[in-house]
Amino acid sequence: MSRLNPRQQEAVSYIGGPLLVLAGAGSGKTSVITRKIAYLIQQCGIRAQYIYAVTFTNKAAREMKARVGSLLRGAESKGLTVSTFHNLGLNIIRKEHAKLGYKPGFSIFDEGDIKALVSDIMQKEYAGDDGTDEVLRQIGSWKNDLILPDAALAKARNPKEQTAAVVYLHYQRTLKAYNAVDFDDLILQPVKLFQEHPEVLEKWQNRVRYLLVDEYQDTNASQYLLVKLLVQGRAQFTVVGDDDQSIYAWRGARPENLMQLKEDFPSLKVVMLEQNYRSTSRILKCANILIANNPHVFEKELWSDMGHGDAIRVIRCRNEDAECERIALEILTEHLKTDRPYSDFAILYRGNYQAKLMELKLQHHQIPYRLSGGTSFFARQEVKDLMSYFRLLVNPDDDNAFLRVINVPRREIGSATLEKLGNYASERDLSLYAACDEIGLSAQLDSRFTERLVRFKRYMDQLRQHCAQNEPIAALRSMVMDIDYEHWVRQNSSSDKAADFRMGNVWFLIDALKNTLEKDEDGAMTIEQAIAKLVLRDMLERQQEEQEGADGVQMMTLHASKGLEFPSVYIMGMEEDILPHRSSIEADTIEEERRLAYVGITRARRNLAFTFAARRKQYGEVLDCLPSRFLAELSADDLQWEGQEDAPVAVKAARGNEALAGIRSLLKK
Ligand code: ATP
Ligand code: MG
């Protein structure tokens, strides 16, 4: 424990009861967790299999695993669980599926599936799917607050909520019928299970002898309850967090959980850390000044002895193209001049849409890059098609998957046939898949059509057998050939190049599955489990991580950057309507946007630059942009403006509440 400061050491070695480490960015909270895992194993003799560490993103979980790995000998860490909340929930459901009323091989519905399902329910129940998004949000927020459909119905106060509650009821039933769960269920179902089955809870409590939670400020009500249930009785846990980095309120995160903890566990010990080991004092000062504009429950002061450091640059660019070009060229020049690896540089942005142009510029200059999170690989047509095949393979009750693949590629099965099949199935409480065989016997359909349905089902049945009997991966590969998916893709792509790219994704997906199976430590993973994992995107990101072994500029959203650090950071699009985001300005949730900016700034170790465009194409129009109000809040002495000479004076004058007005008048000049 030589490198830890006394406070950190105290946090690591305190095992007398529940512990909260509350501290600002870069103060070593995550380091405390990783060191503590090693301490528990090596000094306290707790076996790794009884230690569970939970964090927020897959990337963060991987990082934590790597950090722990470097502190332990291989065998010592065997059985250790370091995962996201959702992965932990998935594991619990997988082991306890029978008690929850799911069959093995259950599907996990992604956003697209869920939306389709809700819209379908609304069509049926209300003859229209207007307001689907709102209903979805409402259902999500009920789920995050652990409110089940019956309770939602009882609670609904106005027609809108009543509609949402009715849809919620149907939605939950349909999911069950499909043997599927959604993302929120991954937390909600284990909590329900633990509440209803004390014996199951006890079993898990015995498994989780020590629990560590990183980024605790971003847990929502259901995640908190999961934590609370797991540690009840023993109360052996360490959670670490920073209320200034709470950036998931929109997903139900409750920074108040930090306070709640003290109430629920009166013996809670609180350790505060104040030294930042990541950033130069200039970067840190900038972060401190910015966040001081938010109201605070806990007063924290961070300091650093990493040296004063270079000025923070604010780069004004003509337009978005110039902005991306500037960043790309700077990184290229720096890389060539100093030989620093590309991976030293991170480009952070508010929304994924900002990445596209940046990617193109980097490609243009042949700068390698890694895009993490947010790449909607899974939203791609071909990936969704294949995934639906896989899902249907492991879960024949998954009607959504069935409907997606039945005519991909075309099998001449028309909507009238599907409607008949649907009616037949729902009357008998069957899945569409199961109904394929039966409907033929009932003579409700012309034999030509029945034959097509039956042929499809037989094929899938055979494929399932192949997967079970021998090489599942080979079976999946031959499936792509059997259905001549490539032909379908070529027919539906704008160019040969696009089709090649899409087929590349298809093979990549199958390879990813193969890797998961091969990498499984116990060698006991079934193809079903591998597919379920894939849906959680976990594996794919890990794959990406392996490729990350190669050098590349890191690109990600500010949200995805939480917990990470880079020597040089560019935060692009520092403009009103982008950061802070337009919807936050309208909803008056600027404080959360400020925390997001704070997270971004505190990722930087030595160099930090903000860029913004004077004009930007948005919604097909070229619009004038205003620099972000957050720039005006920073200390002008530490900023170095480029591309606009009179900016520092004006911004200095504009500090405080008039920040925005000041910037506006500056631009009018
Ligand atoms: P964040 O709030 O951004 O998640 P954090 O509080 O989790 O940050 P860490 O990521 O654990 O902070 O640590 C930040 C950096 O400081 C890391 O590079 C870590 O290795 C280093 N560090 C932590 N503690 C010490 C120490 N006692 N001595 C030297 N370096 C340290
Ligand atoms: Mg951290």
Given a contact cutoff of 8 angstroms between Cβ atoms, the answer to whether 14 and 271 are in contact is: yes
| Residue 128 in marked binding region | no
C-beta of 31 in contact with ligand 1 (< 6 A): yes
Residue 646: predicted pLDDT: 44
Predicted confidence (pLDDT) per residue in 24-37, tens digit: 999 999 999 999 99
Residue 600: predicted pLDDT: 98
Mark whether 122 and 89 lie in a shared domain.
no
Mark whether 34 and 165 lie in a shared domain.
no
Q: Which atom of ligand 1 is nearest to the CA of 33?
A: 11
Question: Which of the residues 59, 65, 603, 629 is marked catalytic?
Answer: 603
Q: Which of 8, 10, 30, 32 to mutate to test the pocket of ligand 1 (most atoms within 8 A of CB)?
A: 30
Residue 209: predicted pLDDT: 94
Residue 373 lies in a domain: no
Mark whether 536 and 558 lie in a shared domain.
no
C-beta of 279 in contact with ligand 1 (< 6 A): no
What number is the average pLDDT over the span 105-120? 83
Mark whether 236 and 192 lie in a shared domain.
yes
Residue 288 lies in a domain: no
Q: What percentage of the chain exceeds 90 in pLDDT?
A: 50
Mark whether 496 and 529 lie in a shared domain.
yes
CATH code of the domain containing 486: 1.10.486.10
Residue 25 lies in a domain: yes
Residue 390 has pLDDT above 80, yes or no: yes
Tally of domains in the chain: 4
C-beta of 28 in contact with ligand 1 (< 6 A): yes
Nearest protein Cα to ligand 1, atom 4 = 563
Ligand nearest the Cα atom of residue 27: 1
C-alpha separations of 487 from 265, 391, 402, 409, 458 in Å: 61, 22, 20, 9, 22
Q: Is the peptide bond before 368 cis (omega within 30 degrees of 0)?
A: no
In the residue annotation, 214 being an active-site residue is answered as yes
Given a contact cutoff of 8 angstroms between Cβ atoms, the answer to whether 374 and 355 are in contact is: yes
Residue 305 DSSP SS3: coil
**Helices 198-207 + 185-196 axis angle, to 10:** 110
Residue 323 lies in a domain: yes
Ligand nearest the Cα atom of residue 274: 1
CATH code of the domain containing 634: 3.40.50.300
Residue 347 lies in a domain: yes
Predicted confidence (pLDDT) per residue in 339-385, tens digit: 999 999 999 999 988 887 888 888 888 898 888 754 456 667 888 88
Q: What share of the chain is helix, strand, coil (3-state, %, to 5)?
A: 60, 15, 30
CATH code of the domain containing 167: 1.10.10.160
Domain interval for residue 61? 6-93+188-273
Give this complex's ipTM: 0.99
- Mark residue 103 as left, alpha or beta (left: phi above 0; alpha: psi -120 to 50; beta: remaining): beta
Residue 327 lies in a domain: yes
Mark whether 487 and 413 lie in a shared domain.
yes
Residue 650 has pLDDT above 60, yes or no: no
Residue 490 lies in a domain: yes
Ligand nearest the Cα atom of residue 25: 1
C-beta of 298 in contact with ligand 1 (< 6 A): no
Mark whether 558 and 531 lie in a shared domain.
no
Distance CA 405, CA 409 (A): 7
C-beta of 35 in contact with ligand 1 (< 6 A): no
Least Cα distance to 182 among 117, 229, 120, 138 occurs for: 117
Question: Which of the residues 129, 215, 320, 323 is marked catalytic?
Answer: 215
What number is the average pLDDT over the span 79-94? 92
Distance CA 392, CA 624 (A): 49
Residue 654: predicted pLDDT: 39
Q: Please give the structure tokens belonging to residue 36.
A: 């503590």
Alpha helices (H) along 101-197:
111-126, 132-144, 149-155, 159-177, 185-196
Residue 266 lies in a domain: yes
| DSSP conformation class of 345 | E
Q: Is the peptide bond before 104 cis (omega within 30 degrees of 0)?
A: no
Nearest protein Cα to ligand 1, atom 16 = 277
Q: Pick the last residue of a domain from 158, 178, 198.
A: 178
Question: Which of the residues 34, 205, 238, 245 is marked catalytic?
Answer: 245
Mark whether 195 and 68 lie in a shared domain.
yes
Q: Pick the last residue of a domain from 255, 273, 291.
A: 273
Q: Pick the last residue of a domain from 545, 578, 594.
A: 545
Predicted confidence (pLDDT) per residue in 176-210, tens digit: 888 889 989 999 999 999 999 999 999 999 999 99
Mark whether 12 and 132 lie in a shared domain.
no
Question: Ligand 2 (ion): which residues have CB within 5 A?
Answer: 29-30, 563
Task: Categorize the per-residue pLDDT at 252 as very low, low, confident or very high, splitting at 50, 70 and 90.
Answer: low
Distance from the CA of 36 to the center of ligand 1, in angstroms? Answer: 14
Task: Categorize the per-residue pLDDT at 152 as very low, low, confident or very high, splitting at 50, 70 and 90.
Answer: very high
Strand partners, 610: 314, 571
Mark whether 415 and 541 lie in a shared domain.
yes
Residue 664: predicted pLDDT: 45
Q: Please give the structure tokens belonging to residue 549.
A: 């072994």
Mark whether 591 and 655 lie in a shared domain.
yes
In the residue annotation, 113 being an active-site residue is answered as no
Mark whether 24 and 157 lie in a shared domain.
no
Residue 102 has pLDDT above 50, yes or no: yes
Q: Please give the structure tokens belonging to residue 272.
A: 């505060």
Strand partners, 608: 569
